[in-house]
């Protein structure tokens, strides 16, 4: 091990010099913003319009009111903020995207979708463009009681919210919501053909739905969660005692599901949701008897 003697070391600035830092050279280019070239706003024919340009993989804290306890949560969202860009503009003023996000820092986009409508429209206007898109993905936590003992722990799923604004389309504003949750699926075929037991696995249900903003149930995340979990062989639980383990094992055996069954049953619940215009449901099973996954997708639009 190397002994260290800070008292005999050079100062921090001397250390930086020794490790390669140099003084700034006197520059010839402008240092004041008003004297700098605004390359982004240079007009010409740039061959293509761009449907989406902006920033992605932005991490930001968000506040949300949850329909399930804990009722007030802060989560970390991964965001994408983009606008359209017309053919005659070289680039967007990218700093305005995160500048606007900071201005909306404490707003609950999840239970106040009308705020997201204003946010996405303002994004387009701030860039002097006709369209903008915003997506947020973040973990949502909720208390989950074990089925027999009632012991509580925190479970989670991932929520998705997307707002799209196109000034020249009707409607100008579209809102998509989504949820991804893990469940248990038990194979009906395996149950049918085996003398005893049946293989089961962890499945993932991924829902994306275009919703009617004016009719949106503010507890939409609970509605989507229920559509996925209530149709699976069993739900996942953070805390399970022996009595609970028996309950979830037997529940799964009583409710065997192919990946197709789970997709169709979830789709049926979504089709009954009054606020959903169209949706995609994807079920994926990490097969316990294969190295590959089984997958089923349903896309459905209401007439
Ligand atoms: N358009 C564009 N901007 C980029 C790109 N990569 C980085 N930038 C960022 O753009 C920033 C400048 O942002 P702008 O919003 O144009 O800055 P500005 O013109 O001083 O800001 P305003 O006062 O809002 O007009 C730079 O600091 C870069 O970080 C890119 O590929 N395209």
Which domain CATH number covers 85? 3.10.270.10
Q: Which residue has the higher pLDDT, 40 or 142?
A: 142
Phi and psi at 195, nearest 5°, equal -60, -35
- DSSP H stretches of helix in the chain: 12-18, 95-103, 113-126, 188-193, 220-229, 242-254, 259-271
Residue 36 lies in a domain: no
What is the ipTM score, two decimals?
0.90
pLDDT bucket at 170, cuts 50 / 70 / 90: very high
Give the up-direction half-sphere exposure of residue 47: CA atoms within 13 A in the CB hemisphere. 0
Taking the C-alpha atoms of residue 223 and residue 276, their distance in angstroms, rounded to an integer, is: 11
pLDDT bucket at 113, cuts 50 / 70 / 90: confident
> For 205-229, what is each residue's pLDDT tens digit?
999 999 998 888 889 999 999 999 9
Residue 3 lies in a domain: no
Burial track 14-52 (b if 16+ CB lie within 10 A, e otherwise): eeeeeeeeeeeeeeeeeeeeeeeeeeeeeeeeeeeebee
Which are the contacts of 192, defined by CB distance < 8 A and separation ≥ 6? none
Atom of ligand 1 nearest to the CA of 91: 1
Query: What does DSSP assign to residue 290?
Result: S
The secondary structure element, H or E, covering residue 4 is: none
- If one residue of 52, 94, 129 were mutated to test the ligand 1 pocket, choosing by the most ligand atoms within 8 A of its CB, it would be 94
Domain extent for 100: 44-301
Residue 28 lies in a domain: no
Residue 73 lies in a domain: yes
Residue 16 lies in a domain: no
Instruction: Give me the pLDDT at residue 41, please.
Output: 86
> For 130-167, what is each residue's pLDDT tens digit?
999 999 999 999 999 999 999 999 999 999 999 999 99
**Is 240's pLDDT higher than 90?**
yes
Instruction: Give me the pLDDT at residue 121, please.
Output: 97
Segment 54-83 shows an average pLDDT of 96
Atom 9 of ligand 1, residue of closest alpha carbon: 94
Residue 104 lies in a domain: yes
Residue 144 lies in a domain: yes
Instruction: Provide the mean pLDDT of the chain.
Output: 95
Residue 2 lies in a domain: no
**Is 4's pLDDT higher than 90?**
no
Q: How many structural domains are present in the chain?
A: 1
Distance 169 CA to ligand 1 centre (A): 28
Distance 93 CA to ligand 1 centre (A): 5
- If one residue of 52, 95, 102, 126 were mutated to test the ligand 1 pocket, choosing by the most ligand atoms within 8 A of its CB, it would be 95
Segment 79-106 shows an average pLDDT of 95
Taking the C-alpha atoms of residue 35 and residue 283, their distance in angstroms, rounded to an integer, is: 56
């Amino acid at each position: 091990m190397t002994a260290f003697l800070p008292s005999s070391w050079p100062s921090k600035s001397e250390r930086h010099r020794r490790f390669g830092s140099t003084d700034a050279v006197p520059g010839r280019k402008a240092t004041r913003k008003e004297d700098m070239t605004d390359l982004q706003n240079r007009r010409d024919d740039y061959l293509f319009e761009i449907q989406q340009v902006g920033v992605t993989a932005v991490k930001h804290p968000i506040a949300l009111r949850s329909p399930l306890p804990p009722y007030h949560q802060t989560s970390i969202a991964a965001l994408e903020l983009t606008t359209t860009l017309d053919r005659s503009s070289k680039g967007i003023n990218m700093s305005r995207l995160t500048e606007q996000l900071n201005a909306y820092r404490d707003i609950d986009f999840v239970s106040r979708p009308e705020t997201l409508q204003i946010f996405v429209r303002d994004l387009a206007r701030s860039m002097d463009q006709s369209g903008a898109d915003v997506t947020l993905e973040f973990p949502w936590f909720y208390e989950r009681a074990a089925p027999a003992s009632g012991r509580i722990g925190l479970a989670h799923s991932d929520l998705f919210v997307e707002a799209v604004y196109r000034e020249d389309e009707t409607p100008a504003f579209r809102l998509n919501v989504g949820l991804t949750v893990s469940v248990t699926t038990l194979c009906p075929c395996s149950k049918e053909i085996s003398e005893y037991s049946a293989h089961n696995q962890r499945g993932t249900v991924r829902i994306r739905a275009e919703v009617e903003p004016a009719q949106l149930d503010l507890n939409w995340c609970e509605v989507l969660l229920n559509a996925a979990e209530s149709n699976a062989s069993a739900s996942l639980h953070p805390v399970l005692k022996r009595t609970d383990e028996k309950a979830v094992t037997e529940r799964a055996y009583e409710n065997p599901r192919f990946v197709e069954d789970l997709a169709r049953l979830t789709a049926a619940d979504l089709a009954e949701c009054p606020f959903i215009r169209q949706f995609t449901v994807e079920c994926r099973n990490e097969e316990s008897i294969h190295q590959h996954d089984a997958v089923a997708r349903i896309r459905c639009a209401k007439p």
